[in-house]
Structure 1
């Protein structure tokens, strides 16, 4: 540890031997039981006398002898109001400041953001935690602050890594703590496919072959034939478990919808269906994720299917499409055969599907009294040929590591980046804000960067953001409306990313999202070829502005022309707007 004249400790220079003996371990930012926890990482007991925690305006100080044993933790709060989560966990003792030799002086955590600093008994800063809208501290904290979690009784941050002081070293309690590791690669056989061309047929066929178990984590699964296929699996003795998002448009706590009735049929067929939601409209919202935005399934403990698309009536038609402009959504998917990757994703599923955190409930609990709607499975008769490639894959998750992973692969690209993206947040177009967009702009100076985005209804903002890219980058950007661009896929040189992650704050930091990096030139070229076709149809390299159909985007006619010139569109989406 390097200590400067002012007593600052450069935390970014920690090595394994430099990790402080006492560190911040948990932080509860809101409600009456707000506070923090310390942990002893040393091999012996340490007296906390002389230690203090400050938020810049107030301090909690340890004013008398208080030993913390090796590996022990201690929660410190002002009020010990009944808490079923932060204060009532076995093996997590707590003390109140103002008593027991712990003094509090004007110490209060701001719900919107703050920075905490831990001082040792020599009055040196040895640890830090930045939260919400707090500005990053380049001396004591690296990079962006830990994302705000909302005012929930189960919302507190937990330390996952002790050798760094940055957002990736922390996770929200109840989520997972998978720090991005570019060297984590599982051997796999990978079969790529495209929407709308495939009509969901590769998924149907994989489910038909399930023998032991099917676990599905999905934002929305509304195609009757997809639900019927899962029901058939359950009826023939396959263990079928689903975790579904409970706040999808029009379906929240609406037991009278056809969607709910089909799910009730699935339950009666023997499947377990859980919903990530709040218990009822008047209960506290304890959701760990802003949205469960995943789109994956695990089959027989050895196969994982990841797509950018929901299993809905638009994508799972069971019919192949030769001309994608005649289909519905543009999306990518992969079948990954890998026991190690399946084990990894099963652990994620089990964590998210747990009822221990107050946000997962059985379907019949959420939708009491819903009558089943009988549905019959029809196996698709169309054939969709797929190729399989031996390769390696790296798991990507939000909120765990998708931000770090995205920036890593952008920065390490040498020749090409092709991206199809549904949504990009407005704040990422601020030149002063580090974001994947700023890294993409920088990379375009040395590599060929091409982007296709979805057109938004907000035409003025679209043009504004297009002007920003035209003025500040060498990115080649076009828009796509047919088929509807719902993809969130990228190709980085000889690596491909298939994912559900929109480039939004929710997509990276507060949703549960899933992606998979495929380290395969063949798979990268497969998706790049599809991108080439899409790009050729939607980008004009000779035109100063892109040609957009007037009937699709701007209801304007200029001198009777059927087509008008407009800037290439970049999708603007607010963190609380559509995220499908």
Structure 2
């Protein structure tokens, strides 16, 4: 009887092993010359006896008795793979790295970059086959990976993170906007730091923001700064002067860029956030530049920002930062000895003060890992969507940007959709930019009779340098504050950072700012009305929403 049970158990285990072991990841075209770091990954549990991996021309099997328990990596060169990924593979096929065992080859398996296939056999049974370009789209540096039977849910490149969605309850939120009160909140946040500040920002050229960080360092706070190493136009003279001033104070400044050791993880490190004391996150649409964080009373961009207080949420962003600041693509920035300059700006009448609310539900949106959450936000709209973007570009001349397409589809089911785009000269000078996009959207609305409208921001009427925002408000309840531009590159290939905030008071705050921008031209042209003669009643909005609507909001969630 025991022998029968044992035999049945063995057969079940064997059957489960045959069904469960599969190729879940491979990279045929990595960045190193000659591709010595190409690899594949198996996943499953059990003995690998009888398994063969082939490309139809060559192949290999594993030494007798080899077991897999989870994941197992086979690379051409152990040393090259370690250089690219930071750890040694389990097996190698060509090199003789002492710490890495060899497979047993049968011919030479080399994954071609443009077109090839991988075949996994168990005995004479073909267990799995994946071919490119039939099953995956080949691209240099791309890791092809399998999730729930689907190859490449998103583009994934060597060195990039794989953060999963997470939501945090009970977050204290301070909403703010540029140019009105962005610097006020930044300066207050840095002044409250006691232990450490982690900064990741695309461009850092603002001398006063640098001085705030230097004062924090002088009182014993550890400050670390990461910037993009190759922004459009390169790191400016002002950026190198700021880096020099920070370095002289003992603050290390690094950049993400392609080096001899590693290819840059992302096309651009376009995020704009900081983490303070593992408890507070400040992020938004604006770079650390005078137009993004002007002192109160000075003109600047229209941008949205938010300060979030919650240890779990901050811990999530700490993990993102620590991942991005590590690797061979991170190098020190050579700052200059020049003193950072102070840029001149015209005056601006402050209209919006910060708005604080407690008890928010917050979901980080990290590109490219979880940028699909933006589509989910738009698709979930039932009543209204307000979109304010620096610009929107289509995938091709005929295929709409997927975020815009989702918003238009929402209007087709009766959701009221408003789209507001920047009108600075560089966003309207060409034949296919914001003014043409507004026309495309409005023609769709007219042709189909949709509750959909697009406008250009009237910068002169609202006394703004440009609209640099990347925000969305849904159903007066949820808001996206982010650095994600609506183009093909930003959500799929950049490192971006944002959050979806669910709280009616915060939604009401940003909606008031959006409405002010939406109606700017009408207000400016109305006879006898001088729109800068008053301070918008934002405090009243926050107080009423916090005391009234918040009660209803919490009641719905319980």
TM-score over 0.5 for the alignment?
A: yes
- State the partner residue of 1:23: 23
Once the two structures are overlaid, the 10-residue window that deviates more, 187-196 or 23-32, is 23-32
1:33 and 1:81 in contact (8 A); partners too: no
**Contact preservation (8 Å) 1:60, 1:107:** no
1:340 aligns with 2:307: no
Q: Distance between the aligned counterparts of 1:503 and 1:385, measured in 2? A: 26
Match of 2:364 among 391, 395, 412: 395
- Residue aligning to 1:226: 209
Name the TM-score, length of structure 2 as normaliser.
Answer: 0.75
Aligned with 1:228: secondary structure? helix
Q: How many positions carry a matched residue from both structures?
A: 473
2:51 aligned with 1:49, yes or no? yes
Following the alignment from structure 1 to structure 2, what is the Cα–Cα distance between the partners of residues 331 and 271?
Answer: 27
Task: Give the equivalent residue in structure 2 for 1:100.
Answer: 104
Aligned to 1:489: 471
Q: Does 1:410 align with 2:392?
A: no
Q: TM-score, normalised by structure 1?
A: 0.72
| Residue ranges of structure 2 left out of the alignment (5+ in a row) | 1-15, 96-102, 343-349, 524-558
Deviations 1:235-290 (A, max 9, x none): 110111111112235554x7xx34323322212212122122245xxx57721111
Counterpart CA distance in 2 for 1:59 and 1:187 is 58
Distance 1:218 1:88, change over 3 A: closer
State the 1:187 CA deviation.
2.9
> Matched residues in 2 for 1:116 and 1:529: separation?
55
Aligned equivalents of 1:314 and 1:49: distance in 2? Answer: 60
1:515 corresponds in structure 2 to 498
Distance 1:103 1:424, change over 3 A: farther
Match of 2:181 among 194, 198, 203: 198
Residue of structure 2 in register with 1:461 after alignment: 432
User: RMSD between aligned alpha carbons?
Assistant: 3.5
Matched with 1:545 is none
* SS across alignment from 2:484: coil
In the alignment, the residues of structure 2 paired with residue 332 and residue 165 of structure 1 have an alpha-carbon distance, to the nearest angstrom, of 36
Q: 1:351 aligns with which of 323, 326, 329?
A: 323
Match of 2:332 in 1: 362
Q: Using the alignment, how far apart are the partners of 1:316 and 1:175 within structure 2? A: 29
Does the 8 Å contact 1:65/1:101 carry over to 2?
no
Residue 294 (structure 1) shift: 0.9
Equivalent position of 1:371 in the other structure: 337
User: Which contiguous aligned blocks of 4+ residues in structure 1 show a shift greater than 6 angstroms?
Assistant: 16-19, 63-66
Residue 268 of structure 1: aligned partner: 248
What is the 5 A alignment of 1:123-138? 124=126, 126=128, 128=130, 134=133
**Aligned to 1:189, which of 160, 172, 187?**
172
Paired with 2:88 and 2:61, the residues of 1 have a C-alpha distance of: 27
Partner of 2:421, secondary structure, is: strand
Report Cα offsets for 1:473-516 as digits up to 9, x if no partner: 53311112513110000012211010000012220111110001
Find the counterpart in structure 2 of residue 551 from structure 1: none
CA distance in 2, matches of 1:123, 1:36: 23
* Equivalent residue, structure 2, for 1:436: 403
Mapping for residues 524-539 of structure 1, pairs under 5 Å = 524-537=507-520
> 1:342: how far off?
0.5
Report the alpha carbon displacement of residue 427 of structure 1 after superposing the two structures with TM.
1.3
2:364–2:500 CA contact under 8 A, matched in 1: yes
Distance 2:165 2:186 in 1: 28
CA distance in 1, matches of 2:118, 2:417: 41
Structure with the largest fraction of helix: 2
Cα distance in 1, alignment partners of residues 184 and 504 from structure 2: 24
The offset of 1:213, in angstroms, is: 1.2
Q: Which residue of 1 is the match for residue 143 of structure 2?
A: 157
Q: CA deviation at 1:120?
A: 4.1
Is this contact kept in 1: 2:401–2:488, CA < 8 A? no
Residues 61 and 104 in structure 2, CA contact (< 8 A), matched pair in contact too: no
1:508 alignment partner, SS class: helix
Q: 1:375 to 1:480 in 2, by over 3 A?
A: closer
Cα distance change of structure 1 residues 233 and 266 upon mapping to structure 2, 3 Å threshold = same
Measure the CA separation in 2 of the matches of 1:251 and 1:292.
13
Give distance in 2, aligned partners of 1:73 and 1:385. Answer: 51
**1:445 counterpart residue number:** 412
Deviations 1:151-207 (A, max 9, x none): xxxx45275x753424347743322101345xx334311111111111511111111
1-structure distance, mates of 2:22, 2:360? 43
Determine helix, strand or coil for the equivalent of 1:222.
coil
Matched residue, 2:545: none
Alignment correspondent of 2:547: none
Cα distance between partner residues in 2 of 1:278 and 1:313? 28
The residue number in structure 2 matching 1:36 is 39
- Once the two structures are overlaid, the 10-residue window that deviates more, 169-178 or 392-401, is 169-178
Partner of 1:70: 69
SS in 2 for 1:174: coil
Q: What secondary structure sits across from 1:452 in the alignment? A: strand
- Partner secondary structure for residue 71 of structure 1: strand
Contact 2:53–2:121 under 8 Å retained in 1:
yes
Larger Rg: 2
Q: Distance in 2 between matches of 1:247 and 1:450?
A: 34
Q: Distance in 2 between matches of 1:429 and 1:286?
A: 31
